[in-house]
Amino acid sequence: MKESQYNWNIKDVTEESSVLIPTLEQLNINSELAPLLWRRGIQDTEKITAFFKPTVADFYDPFLLHDMEKSILRIQEAVEKGEKILIYGDYDADGITSTTVMKEAIELIGGYVVYYLPNRFSDGYGPNKEVYQRMIEEEGIQLIVTVDNGVSGHDAIEYAMNQNVDVIVTDHHELPETLPNAFSIVHPRHPEGSYPFNDLAGVGVAFKVACALLGEIPMESLDLVAIGTIADLVSLTDENRSLVKIGLEIMKQNERIGLQALADVAKIDLTAVTEETIGFTIGPRLNAIGRLGDAGPGVELLSTFDDVEAGNLATFIQQKNTERQTIVKQITTEALEMADKLSDEPILFLMSKDWHQGVLGIVASRIVQETNKPTIVLFNDEETGLLKGSGRSIEGIDLFQTLSVVKDDLTSFGGHHMAAGLTFEISKLDKIKEMLSEFMKTQGYDISIKEELQIDSQLELEKVTVEFIETLRLLAPFGTDNPAPHFLFQVNKAINLKQIGVDNSHLKCQLTNGNGSLDCIAFNRGADLFEFEYADQLKLVGQLSVNEWNGFRKPQLMLQDYLIDDLQLFDARGKKGEEIKPLTDKVAYLIFDKKNPHLGQKANSFLIDSKWQNKLEAINTFEEAVIVDCPYDMEIAKGIFSSLKVPRIYFLVRVNQEHYLTGLPTREQFGRLFKLIAKQESIDVRYKLDDISKFLKIEKNLLIFMIRVFFDLGFVTIDDGLMTKVQNPTNKPLQESETYQSYQNKIEMEKLFLYSDIKEIKHWILQQEEPK
């Protein structure tokens, strides 16, 4: 049995969703999408129309945002007076696009604009008092407009306001209990605001300011809005869906020189851009420069009108992304090794003095995926005595709320329910861990509870076609709160299994159930190859996509999760024993030979003999079992395997002498030995066995067995190593010898457990009746 990583939630809503079919037919949209829309809360005509055919008319009035009018009047005043305006941004993709949108809007009305993206290492996140002071004193800044930051920048903003430099905050992050004393705060969740949608990204807020400032919608900025919104993982519903869907169409027109240059180096086609293109290609590249250094080149790239400059900047950003990938891979490997040793902790705190600060958030996300635990990944700054890093959480645990419990012990802190950044003194680590652990207990947080995975429906393999997948694309763009549909498949077999990727980390196969087949790709599941190989039935959940290669288009499943809910047997015999190993440390080792040297070497080893029933209860508490050697007693074998409740069994089956391959001696061989004995009164078998073996051309171990058979049958006597023939022995068939019967039995048992296909062994086990 292989448990699923997630808790699967599937509910048939076909009947309820049928009311949507007339509207879908009227809009000429495939009615098969009705259940998928219903689960996403799209349950009336108005919402369906806006979902599939959004227009700029769906954008909300920017002046509904708190302090919008006040902010616009102040910017206009600054432009009229020729004041020098600073746009203070952030170093991620949302911050880069926010800065560019605001910069272009103010420049369009003639404003004198400079921008500053803080360096994550020297400036930190959000308003920095030293930077504000320098920009005011040395650059003559007279107005500061923040984008994608500001609501937690109390000290810096207070300083600027005291210098008679107004600060307009435009932000979307979690609001602290006390807001900074800024000139104005534009935020979709401001308690005194009335904006209908509260989950705009930073670039979404900047775009709203641009709309209000220009008195019209700057359509040319919507490509950047789409990038920042998708990259920041905010909800792709309501207004964000409209912004992104229209923004993607704008991007396909390919008019921004910097984006085209970035697409060229990344080898992507902007005319076919999707949310996946941004999420997996464009967004990570923009994020990479801020993770490893100065994010300013991102704004330069997106706002330049110079082809040569765009090409140079795009090449630089591509190099930074490659560097980032290498660093992330190395740190993730080290962090996972640490996480394995902290399995009992409710929140993982992983740290090193050698880790690059810029990628810790990515690493934290990878660890959460592997462990399903909230994870804080930290850089240990030995010079300052501070731990600095990022945290990521799971769906059921609000990381911002949880870390707020220890905010008084944190030097800095910010974020939202799924992600956070923080800095604190290393001397406070134990206290913080203890307080968070206690808080999680009092809140009833249970990290053992699996994260839920919503499944849209169960499909048959033959249902999946390229046309069906293209119909599903009508639901795009996919993202937070509007995920790509997940489908459940039940298949008989996975064939053509192979590990792919540079380090064999991914798995590729073909799913089949007799009536149809479907290609499947499972990223980061390369190690699960044997799970698939030995499964008789699989239940798999994933998203569908079209694989295009050499002009040929074929459906494929992008695996998200899977389970195997019956007995699993793994063939670890021979060389495979080096490759196939138990997944956990909860393993029982079953040994059938009391002389086996491995008996007692492991704490969880059990001798399976006539008293096996006394050990059964203990054995069945384990999650996995290893059959170390070969069972030679059929009754014991039947008893233990019919009663064993361990869901995963590995057949190692190592033997000292392979009876099956050697086989029973032939009658002709027995005849040769008999004739030799008949010609001799006695033979010293203690010292002459080698000579006899060579003379008779019979392998030594087989010869010993034959002599024991003759002894059993009374053909010879053996006394102190001297074998003497019995005169006129009673004629008996070889099968009456207990030695012969035992050997014959060993052959049959080895045939079953050592040489049969693992499926045959499973079939034999399932046929055994549990003893009453």
pLDDT tens readout for residues 130-187? 999 999 999 999 999 999 999 999 999 999 999 999 999 999 998 988 999 999 999 9
From the CB of residue 603, how many other CB atoms can be counted at a distance below 10 Å? 6
The number of beta carbons lying within 10 Å of the beta carbon of residue 615 is 16
Q: Kindly list the distances between the CA atom of residue 675 and the CA atoms of 669, 696, 709, in Å, as whole numbers in the listed order.
A: 10, 10, 15
Stretch 32-60: mean pLDDT: 93
pLDDT of residue 770: 60
% of the chain at pLDDT higher than 90: 84
544, two tokens: 């569908």
For tokens 């109390």, name the residue: 154
Question: Mind listing the pLDDT tens digit for each residue in 537-550?
Answer: 999 999 999 998 88
Q: Any idea how long the chain is?
A: 772
Q: How many CB atoms lie within 10 A of CB 705?
A: 21
CA angle in degrees (0–180, nearest 5) for 81-85-87 = 155
Q: Would you place residue 261 in the very low, low, confident or very high pLDDT band (cuts 50, 70, 90)? A: very high
Q: What is the pLDDT of residue 771?
A: 52
Instruction: For 7-49+453-563, give the CATH class.
Output: mainly beta
Write down the mean pLDDT value for the chain: 94
Per CATH, domain 660-748 is 2.60.40: no
Q: What is the pLDDT of residue 769?
A: 66
Q: Band of the pLDDT at 105, cuts 50, 70, 90?
A: very high
12 pLDDT higher than 90 = no
Question: What percent of the chain shows pLDDT beyond 70?
Answer: 99
Segment among 214-218, 315-319, 565-569 with least mean pLDDT: 565-569
CB-based contacts of 590-597 (< 8 A; 24+ apart in sequence): 590/619, 590/625, 590/626, 590/627, 590/628, 590/640, 591/628, 591/629, 592/628, 592/629, 592/630, 592/631, 592/632, 592/633, 592/636, 593/629, 593/630, 593/632, 596/628, 596/629
Domain ranges of the chain: 7-49+453-563, 57-319, 342-442, 568-655+754-767, 660-748
Tell me if the bond preceding 477 is cis, omega within 30° of 0: yes
d(CA 291, CA 359): 6
Region of poorest pLDDT, from 46-50, 337-341, 342-346, 355-359: 342-346
- Specify the pLDDT at position 584: 87
Environment class of 532 (CB within 10 Å of its CB; exposed 0-12, middle 13-18, buried 19+): buried
On the question of pLDDT at 529 being above 90, the answer is yes
- pLDDT above 60 for 772: no
Would you state the pLDDT for residue 139?
Answer: 97
CB atoms within 10 A of CB 136: 19
| Predicted pLDDT at 667 | 92
Predicted TM-score (pTM) of this structure: 0.83
From first CA to last CA, the distance across the chain in angstroms is 25
| Rounded distance between C-alpha atoms, residue 497 and residue 508, angstroms | 6
Report the topology of domain 342-442.
Diaminopimelate Epimerase; Chain A, domain 1 (3.10.310)
- Taking alpha carbons only, the member of 388, 386, 389, 420 closest to residue 402 is 420
3-state secondary structure of 15: helix
Inter-residue contact 127 to 327 (CB < 8 Å): no
Amino acid 59: pLDDT: 97
Q: Check residue 530 and give its pLDDT.
A: 92
* Pick from 642, 589, 646, 635: nearest CA to 610: 635
Is domain 57-319 given the CATH code 3.20.20.70 in the classification? no
Rounded-to-integer distance, Cα 30 and Cα 37, Å: 11
**Per-residue pLDDT tens over the stretch 739-769:** 999 999 999 999 999 999 999 999 999 998 6
Arithmetic mean of pLDDT, 491-516: 92
User: What are 662-713's pLDDT values in tens digits?
Assistant: 899 999 999 999 999 999 889 999 889 999 999 999 999 899 999 999 999 9
For tokens 């902010």, name the residue: 71
Query: CA-CA distance, 454 to 272, in Å (whole number)?
Result: 28
Q: What is the pLDDT of residues 604-635, one digit of tens each?
A: 999 999 999 999 999 999 999 999 999 999 99
Q: How far is residue 197's CA from residue 59's CA, in Å, rounded to a whole number?
A: 10
Question: What pLDDT was estimated at residue 204?
Answer: 98
| pLDDT value of position 418 | 83
Tens-place pLDDT, residues 411-462: 988 777 888 889 999 999 999 999 999 998 888 887 777 888 999 999 999 9
- Is residue 206 within a helix (H) or strand (E), and if so which, with residue range? helix 202-214
